[in-house]
Structure 1
Amino acid sequence: MLHVSKVFLPNILHKSCFPRMKARFGTGPNAFLKQDCFEEYFQQHHIPINYFQKLLLTVGSATVALVNPYRADMVACLGETTGAFALTYMLSKMENSEEGLKILSERPRINTDTIDVAKLRQFPENTLGKVYVNFLDNNRVTPDSRDPVKFIDDIQLAYVIQRYREIHDFVHAILGMNINILGEITVKWFEAVQNKLPMCYGGALFGALNLKAQDRRDLLKYHLPWALDTGRNCGFLMNVYFEERLDQPIDELHAELNIKPLILPHRRK
């Protein structure tokens, strides 16, 4: 029988995975530690559930997430219990990309064991690595904060949603969106268009209820049209091996992915 505490009180992702399995991968400024241990990681955290339990989890996590959208564990749970179709779509997109296939084959992880945050602070200002670490520092977040996947039985689909969670800060950084309600809603609309996850649509719609009047006007007039257009017309970000592009100029990456940063009109104070 599934214990409720195991469902609603998930363990926090540890900084390191299985140190004995770490191996140095690559050289130069983009070198990072490859943790070839996702299979053991998956088995450690996986919790098999039946359809009835999945329904209960869906209703419970959706209810809690609507009341408190900052409950990241409930948002993560909802993404797993409602995302089967979207994850299959995301997997197929990755399988049809050379870079996506490489990610699926190597299953890289993003955390402070695989990304040298201190080293990124020394990168030139116009590089992806510097933009990413500036985002982490400015918003006081860490790559170690993502919940492990628990309720997906297929290991390949489990990796896809784990990857989706772990590149979230990269998405924020390259889109130029801070971690605030308006920024999160904008990124959620972008991700909804790109990845088709029901959780993203739900978060984008209901998150707007918490916006101030001016932010709501900005969302409708500027952020939403830009997010929908960019999500439809830019490259599929799940196919970007960010860890191997840390020294790439951000303008070059934007051009390659067809991302035009959002420019807001100047307002007089």
Structure 2
Amino acid sequence: MLLKPLYHGHVPLRTIDRALMVISCSVGAYFHPENNNYIIGLGESTAFKPVLEKLRDGMLSDKTGRQILRERPRITSSSLNLNYLKNLPSNTLGNTYYKWLEREKVSPDTRAPVKYIDEDELAYIFQRYRECHDFHHAIAGLPITIEGEISVKAFEFANLGLPFAGFGTLFAPFRLNATQKKRIYQIYYPWAFSNGVNCKSLLNVYWEKILEHDINELCKELQIEKPPDLRQLRRLQKIKNRSK
């Protein structure tokens, strides 16, 4: 029997289909982390209803969270006006985010629409998380490298409890070399778990409304400490290796 879509773009899945998707996307994401389709599928297929309902409850209990759910903003290059962000002072959230996008050569328009989550409002919550992911990178100054992604996923897991972020935190380091593992386990996981647990819920931050805020003051307000510069640590390690 065909299942009826519950919102525009929705692809309803039977329980067996969802289970198979979890397995196939888990294997695919581990062996081919560069393939975003596996990451997307794993994220949505493991975004279990009780987890999303708990996140919704957290948003409903917060003034800003309620506003976000009511207004349902989307993060795109046009909604943010990237040219405006480019010309903001360098110490602002907006300019920090813009410079991060430029450095990493990514765009907010590349985030795929959610389609495998079975309730419209819960689908929006996951979409919101997905579109805010780059802000999490930008405020932490972490690049789109395997180490940077693992670190941000650990931060998000500690803060939001999304299962697929937890899977990435647990299994993705197996693909790292010894030096990378040492950095992750000794520097970035302690940072991610400490800050993720203690900072404000990332879903209750209306990033679009605070683009002109001073980035350092904002981090203090959110209780987020910036981790050591990952790119700099990698450069120093390369210099050290060459000198041996």
- The normalised TM-score by structure 2 is 0.89
Q: Give CA deviations for 1:213-245 in whole Å, capped at 9, x if unaligned.
A: 212111111111111000011111110000010
* Alpha-carbon distance in 1 for matches of 2:143, 2:96: 12
* Alpha-carbon distance in 1 for matches of 2:111, 2:159: 20
8 Å Cα contact 1:89-1:195 kept in structure 2: no
Following TM superposition, the consecutive aligned residue runs of length 4 or more in structure 1 with deviations greater than 4 angstroms are 264-268
- Deviation of 1:205 after TM superposition, in Å, equals 2.2
8 Å Cα contact 1:182-1:219 kept in structure 2: yes
Q: Does 1:250 align with 2:205?
A: no
Higher helix share goes to which structure? Answer: 2
Q: Does 1:63 align with 2:34?
A: no
SS of residue in 2 equivalent to 1:262: coil
Q: Give CA deviations for 1:65-84 in whole Å, capped at 9, x if unaligned.
A: 12211222221212222122
Aligned to 2:125: 160
Q: Give CA deviations for 1:38-82 in whole Å, capped at 9, x if unaligned.
A: xxxx83310112112111222221121122112222212122221
Structure 1 residue identity aligned to 2:30: L
Q: Does 1:76 align with 2:47?
A: no
Unpaired runs of 5+ residues, structure 1, are 3-41
SS of residue in 1 equivalent to 2:80: coil
8 Å Cα contact 1:181-1:210 kept in structure 2: no
Q: How many residues align?
A: 230
* Alpha-carbon distance in 2 for matches of 1:103, 1:55: 31
Structure 1 residue identity aligned to 2:193: L
Match of 1:135 among 79, 97, 100: 100
Aligned to 1:43: 7
* Alpha-carbon distance in 2 for matches of 1:210, 1:138: 25
Q: Does 1:102 align with 2:67?
A: yes
- The normalised TM-score by structure 1 is 0.81
8 Å Cα contact 2:159-2:201 kept in structure 1: yes
SS of residue in 1 equivalent to 2:78: coil
Q: Percent sequence identity over matched residues? A: 38
* Alpha-carbon distance in 2 for matches of 1:122, 1:113: 15
8 Å Cα contact 2:85-2:95 kept in structure 1: yes
* Alpha-carbon distance in 1 for matches of 2:225, 2:21: 38
* Alpha-carbon distance in 1 for matches of 2:86, 2:134: 16
Structure 2 residue identity aligned to 1:177: L
* Alpha-carbon distance in 2 for matches of 1:213, 1:52: 38
* Alpha-carbon distance in 2 for matches of 1:124, 1:82: 40
Matches within 5 A, 1:1-269: 43-84=7-48, 85-263=50-228, 269=239
SS of residue in 1 equivalent to 2:8: helix
RMSD, aligned CA: 1.7
